[in-house]
Structure 1
């Protein structure tokens, strides 16, 4: 809520302009509370959003922090297209000496690079772009540009979560499936004792539901689960490995259940999970998935290392 480039801002929820003075902001908050209160016929979900918006901008110091970025530009990972496949580490974690998952590739790298390219084109040649992550600028960009940034942020957040799984896991990010189509990629491949999983990181900027093994919702375009399964099968054939299942990860606020297992799609078990519950799912596996251990774990990792190319 509020931290996605695709979602409404705190100011949108309160019905004011971002540069409104503090007194007008306070009046707008009280009005929106009355309008959305469930006891007066308002929407309970909107009532909660109004309260959350006020928590973010009601205090001058909090409002200043929110205006500086509220998530869009924080902890931005560096991206160097010619850097090969470096070992990735989340920013701000240099003091953490705990063993972490082995991680390769650049999470969100392709989409963040594409976002910067399209943002510069949209702003226009000759225009100085001091901060491409400025919230006021991001909110006014076309949805297809904001979607790129939202997905990049989602992939980076998932990378931080799976990095904490520990040294028994290996993760590949931004894995190319078809060299002719840069957008045809797997966001993450995770290998550990519970199995080998293809993971999709998504942020549609709105709640989603599931029906017949697929994600649906006003903001959902195409068939994300079907595409994920098809790409996992392509990597499976190329590397001669078997995936244990596929997992779609979304922001916690956008899923109805923390974990929802959808059964099998084209032979692969499928689960949809909120981001905070992803590590638990990867540690225990999903129903119908196959554990991998011993020499097989080493063999699968070797095959993937020899096959994986990055977007």
Structure 2
């Protein structure tokens, strides 16, 4: 089970209530174990998920620790913001503007307090026990904020040849969620990146992300629309529109989906993202010299933040 606010809880995987008696949970586990076993035609991924779910709450002690928000071998865990780690070397990092994950974290804090109720005491709004009990839309907000922060940490190591803008508004007069998570400019092109965490694996169908975790969302279509609006505003064409996924959620480390207004649409994993941006999209034209300088100046003057 991945460590994400939106990941299914052991109770959800086993199909029981979080208040169910221990014996009921045990029966559900044994029933699902038989039903999902690969030897009887079950799904291997589901089979493993059932086992891992049971391991988290197999004993009253384990269950109590999980319900308090603890993770195995840890005394405490929270999804609160953490300061960026100190760089281990003195090499110049990529130039960065904006606050990655900032809009979604602020939105989460507002909504979690509204959901908990006026006057409720929330000493830690990021406590896992509280987060796991919240509605899916709130958990998704926090999961995507964490994904944005993870992408930003990855991007910072690209080096001084790259410039990054985070939480970029595509409609300054509209709602804050009409944004592109990261705009990246470097020698290999101009990229619009969206960091997503749906809490489960995704598939690709007809140029769009699909799957149980994605539900009715259309993330690539949304990114295409936002990139189109920003492209018009700053008078610049994107090389690639890329959705960044957790390593265990993507079907491949890099997969092209099609094109949109001349830009390649694709998905990639967090770990493969630096390789993609340094090497560029296969077949794309590199940029440099005065062209890179002029484009950076135009973007810096035209980009607004949510």
Q: 1:106 aligns with which of 82, 96, 99?
A: 99
Q: 2:291 aligns with which of 282, 296, 305?
A: 296
TM-score by length of 2: 0.83
Number of the residue aligned with 1:118: 111
Q: Which runs of 5+ in 1 are unaligned?
A: 78-90
Partner of 2:125, secondary structure, is coil
Equivalences for residues 1-311 of structure 1 within 5 A: 1-10=1-10, 12-13=12-13, 33=33, 36-53=36-53, 68=69, 73-74=78-79, 76-77=81-82, 91-99=83-91, 100-181=93-174, 182-218=176-212, 219-311=214-306
Give the Cα separation in 1 of the matches to 2:278 and 2:55.
Answer: 35
Number of the residue aligned with 1:87: none
Q: Aligned-pair distance for 1:15?
A: 6.4
Instruction: Please report the RMSD computed on the Cα atoms of aligned residues, expressed in angstroms.
Output: 3.1
> How many residue pairs are counted as aligned between the two chains?
298
Give the Cα separation in 2 of the matches to 1:35 and 1:244.
Answer: 46
Change (3 A) 1:294 1:26: farther
Give the Cα separation in 2 of the matches to 1:175 and 1:262.
Answer: 23
Change (3 A) 1:42 1:173: same
Query: Deviations for 1:27-47, whole angstroms, at most 9, x for unmatched residues?
Result: 987776555432344431122
Give the Cα separation in 2 of the matches to 1:140 and 1:156.
Answer: 23
Which sits farther off after the overlay, 92-101 or 239-248? Answer: 92-101
Query: Deviations for 1:36-82, whole angstroms, at most 9, x for unmatched residues?
Result: 43234443112222444467677979x959954659834615xxxxx
Q: Aligned-pair distance for 1:138?
A: 1.3
Contact 1:3 1:72 in 2 (8 A): no
